[in-house]
Amino acid sequence: SQKIEQNSEALNIQEGKTATLTCNYTNYSPAYLQWYRQDPGRGPVFLLLIRENEKEKRKERLKVTFDTTLKQSLFHITASQPADSATYLCALDNNAGNMLTFGGGTRLMVKP
């Protein structure tokens, strides 16, 4: 069965550094992958979508890569700020309409 893995341990980094989060998947060939941010007690907020034929996508301080050979996506936040502290979820389409399957999320803590 399809499986999506994100590092369940919190990632703690210093303000100004680049945060890198990983999303790995198996038994799966998604057409696209999305990253969301979720703050405690709130619904997820869409950040970026990257398609299977795209290697990299950027949006302001965010960068996402998608390696379909490694079955991995990396999510980078450059010049991180304490306000970036949140849980980040990757989600993959399951080749059935617009349905998404979510990873467990990685909590990012940016310390001033």
Partner 1 sequence: GAVVSQHPSWVICKSGTSVKIECRSLDFQATTMFWYRQFPKQSLMLMATSNEGSKATYEQGVEKDKFLINHASLTLSTLTVTSAHPEDSSFYICSASGAAETQYFGPGTRLLVL
Binding residues for partner 1, rule: CB under 8 A, are 32, 34, 36, 41-46, 49, 89, 91, 93, 97-105
Asked whether 5 and 103 are in contact (CB, 8 A), the reply is: yes
Nearest distance in Å: CB 15, partner 1? 25
- Which residues neighbour 32 within 8 Å (Cβ) at sequence distance 6 or greater? 49, 50, 51, 52, 92, 93
* Cα distance from N-terminal residue to C-terminal residue, the chain: 41
| CB nearer to partner 1: pick between 13 and 102 | 102
Neighbouring residues of 60: CB distance < 8 A, sequence distance ≥ 6: none
Q: Which is nearer to partner 1, 100 or 109 (CB)?
A: 100
User: CB of residue 56 vs partner 1: minimum separation in angstroms?
Assistant: 18
In terms of CB distance, is 10 or 79 closer to partner 1? 10
The smaller minimum CB distance to partner 1, of residues 28 and 32, is found at: 32
Tokens 């210093």 map to which residue? 14
**Residue 17 CB, nearest approach to partner 1 (Å):** 25
